[in-house]
């Protein structure tokens, strides 16, 4: 484990994921926040943009062009999708990168273009990127320069299903995912559908049959299962700030039972500090992981013979983004993985 301070730059510090990384990093004994960028807020103090961070001694927000990367050890990117590739490609080779956008998650350039509507701008760099789901790719994350943190929905889904598919206790066919997320998943930019008067006191589906996280989920489940996997994925917007719940309806393989699924997950995640497999008949709830890097998973037998229901909950801004980024940061720099992530969920 390193003893020196790691000079870290956060790109897109005025967004929810960037600011939450800073909140977590404030309790990290090895991180020195050396630079913060925010194009629309350049020149401001961080406290002007996020008053809850006013007690921290942070550098003033700047434009990207003002950052001297010669003294930076790590860059954490919280920029919008489609803006990161060109920027990362121009960073010094000595800088390690943890990207929270979608720009390096999809390994196939054509799939990326179809999903995000624009050509990939750093195909050579894409070849070296590691998909940053820590619990499944820890060894590769440790030895790479560029980590592509998963989306929040794929994080919850893959943590719930990857060990089951890899152990062949569920079928790769007929996977149905009903997903729900708080409004921070849409970012901090002004959008009509996330206004309080529009999102409050209601529940709505969006991105039906075309959501951009579907190819990401299918890419990783296909890798684990060894067979082409397609999922039925439907996301919903819930009138809460944080939190994510995915309900995965799966077909059992051979003579497997819901108890077998629970046992498989328990064995697979036995030594994982942020994974908690709930006892039988215990329901996962977003309020039980809020503000933490934890993931809770529950397994239930379906009343339809041969099927089971797997439910996972995470905080979409922590385990689904900034916390996972910090977890990957720790792995990349040989730091105890839980450093900066020890906080328990906030309840109520």
pLDDT band at 2 (very low <50, low <70, confident <90, very high): low
- Which of 12-26, 190-204, 215-229 is the least confident region? 190-204
Mean of per-residue pLDDT scores for the chain? 95
Mean pLDDT of 266-277: 98
Per-residue pLDDT at 195 exceeds 70: yes
CATH, domain range 153-316: 3.30.360.10
The fourth-level CATH superfamily of domain 6-150+320-332 is NAD(P)-binding Rossmann-like Domain (3.40.50.720)
Closest C-alpha to 129, from 210, 219, 24, 68:
219
Q: State the distance between the two ends of the chain, measured CA to CA, in whole angstroms.
A: 36
What whole-number percentage of the chain has pLDDT above 90?
91
Q: What is the pLDDT of residues 209-235, one digit of tens each?
A: 999 999 999 999 999 999 999 999 999
8 Å CB contact between 174 and 230: no
Q: How far apart are CA 321 and CA 314, in angstroms?
A: 10
Share of the chain above pLDDT 70, in %: 99
Domain segments of the chain as ranges: 6-150+320-332, 153-316
Is residue 9 flagged as an active site residue?
A: no
Mean pLDDT within 294-308? 98
Phi and psi dihedrals of 130, rounded to 5? -110, 135
Of 9, 77, 149, 152, catalytic: 152
């Amino acid at each position: 484990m390193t003893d020196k301070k790691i000079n870290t730059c956060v790109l897109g510090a005025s967004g929810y994921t960037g600011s939450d990384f800073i909140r977590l990093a404030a309790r990290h004994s090895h991180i020195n926040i050396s630079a913060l960028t925010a194009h629309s807020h350049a020149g401001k103090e961080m406290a002007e943009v996020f008053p809850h961070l006013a007690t921290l001694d942070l550098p003033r927000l700047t434009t990207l062009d003002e950052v001297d990367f010669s003294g930076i050890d790590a860059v954490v990117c919280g920029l919008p999708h489609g803006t990161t590739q060109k920027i990362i490609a121009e960073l010094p080779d000595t800088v390690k990168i943890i990207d929270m956008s979608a720009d390096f998650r999809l390994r196939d350039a054509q799939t990326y273009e179809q999903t995000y509507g624009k050509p990939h701008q750093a195909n050579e760099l894409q070849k070296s990127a590691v998909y940053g789901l820590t619990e499944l790719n820890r060894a590769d994350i440790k030895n790479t320069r560029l980590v592509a943190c998963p989306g929040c929905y794929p994080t919850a889904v893959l943590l719930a299903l990857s060990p089951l598919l890899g152990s062949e206790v569920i079928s790769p066919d007929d996977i149905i995912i009903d997903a729900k997320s708080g409004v921070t998943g849409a970012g901090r930019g002004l959008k009509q559908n996330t206004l309080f008067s529009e999102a409050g006191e209601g529940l709505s589906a969006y991105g039906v049959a075309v959501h951009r996280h579907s190819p990401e989920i299918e890419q990783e489940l296909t890798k684990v299962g060894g067979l082409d996997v397609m999922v039925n994925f439907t996301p919903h917007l819930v009138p809460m700030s944080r939190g994510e719940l995915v309900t995965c309806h799966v077909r059992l393989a051979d003579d497997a039972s819901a108890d077998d699924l629970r046992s498989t997950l328990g064995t697979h995640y036995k030594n994982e500090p942020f994974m908690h497999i709930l006892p039988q008949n215990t329901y996962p709830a977003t309020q039980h992981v809020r503000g933490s890097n934890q993931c809770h998973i529950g397994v239930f037998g379906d009343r339809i013979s041969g099927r089971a229901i797997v439910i996972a909950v995470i905080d979409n801004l922590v385990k689904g983004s900034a916390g996972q980024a910090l977890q990957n940061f720790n792995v990349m720099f040989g730091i105890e993985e839980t450093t900066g992530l020890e906080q328990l969920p906030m309840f109520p």
